[in-house]
């Protein structure tokens, strides 16, 4: 119970205070990406990194880091993005990035697959991934 309360508190804290959004890729990924490149990958406008490798974006399910990424990098509100993707999904023109629940899961996916790109709270970055941009 104590543990649960602790994790809820931790969760609430991390939702309110975060250092910034770090966009991460596998350490072997040599591509440099600007904001437009990241936006194109996350809006499904391209399926590859500038260097040619396949790019698979991963989203966080929700929370402050997701909100910051949506508004600062993609320049859209959650409902604008939902409208954008519902148009794609229901016309067979694309599917939104897969969503995972936590920073740790994003790190796990990115560090194990060179094709995956993700973003996490900057304070959670560790040596298993490479930061390509911070917002």
Partner 1 sequence: MKQSLAICLGTLLLSTAASAEVHISGFASVVGGQVLEGSGVEEFGLEPTFLADYPLVGAYTEEWSFEPDTLFGLQFSADLMDGLSATAQVVSRGADNFSASFEWAYLSYELNEHWTLQAGKKRLPLYYYSDFFDVGYAYPWIRPPADNYTWQIFNYTGASALYNYLIGDWTMTGQIYYGREDDEPNKLLSEFFFGASTREIWKDIGGLVVQFNRDWLDIRLTHMQYNNERFIGGEQRIWDNGSTERKGKFYGLSVNVDWNNLLVLTELNRLTLEGSDLDTYLVTLGYRFGDFLPYVSYSDFDDGSEIHNTASVGLRWDFHPSAAFKIQYDDVTDDGVGAGTPDSWRVAGDAKAISLGVDLVF
Interface residues toward partner 1, by CB under 8 A: 36, 40, 45-48, 77-79, 82-83, 86-87, 89-93, 95
Rounded to 5 degrees, φ, ψ at 97 are -55, 150
Q: From the CB of 68, what's the least distance to partner 1, in Å?
A: 16
3-state secondary structure 62-115: CCHHHHHHHHHCCCCCHHHHHHHHHHHHCCCCCCCCEEECCHHHHHHHHHHCCC
Q: Is the CB of 50 or the CB of 108 nearer to partner 1?
A: 50
Q: From the CB of 40, what's the least distance to partner 1, in Å?
A: 6
Burial of 22 (0-12, 13-18, 19+ CB in 10 A): buried
Q: Is the CB of 8 or the CB of 89 nearer to partner 1?
A: 89
Q: Is the CB of 19 or the CB of 89 nearer to partner 1?
A: 89
Q: Is the CB of 47 or the CB of 112 nearer to partner 1?
A: 47
24 membership: H or E segment, kind and range:
strand 21-25
CA 75/CA 68 separation, integer angstroms: 9
Q: From the CB of 5, what's the least distance to partner 1, in Å?
A: 26
Q: From the CB of 89, what's the least distance to partner 1, in Å?
A: 6
């Amino acid at each position: 119970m104590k543990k649960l309360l602790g994790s809820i508190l931790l969760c609430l804290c991390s939702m309110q205070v975060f250092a910034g959004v770090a966009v991460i890729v596998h350490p072997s990924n040599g591509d440099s990406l600007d904001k437009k490149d990241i936006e194109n990958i996350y809006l499904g406008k391209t399926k590859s990194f500038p260097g040619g490798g396949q790019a698979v974006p991963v989203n966080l399910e929700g929370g402050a880091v997701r909100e910051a990424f949506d508004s600062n990098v993609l320049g859209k509100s959650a409902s604008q993005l939902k409208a954008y993707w519902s148009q794609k999904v229901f016309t067979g023109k694309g599917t939104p990035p897969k969503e995972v629940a936590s920073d740790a899961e994003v790190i796990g996916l990115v560090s194990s697959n060179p094709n995956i790109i993700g973003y996490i709270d900057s304070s959670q970055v560790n040596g298993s991934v490479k930061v390509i941009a911070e917002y």
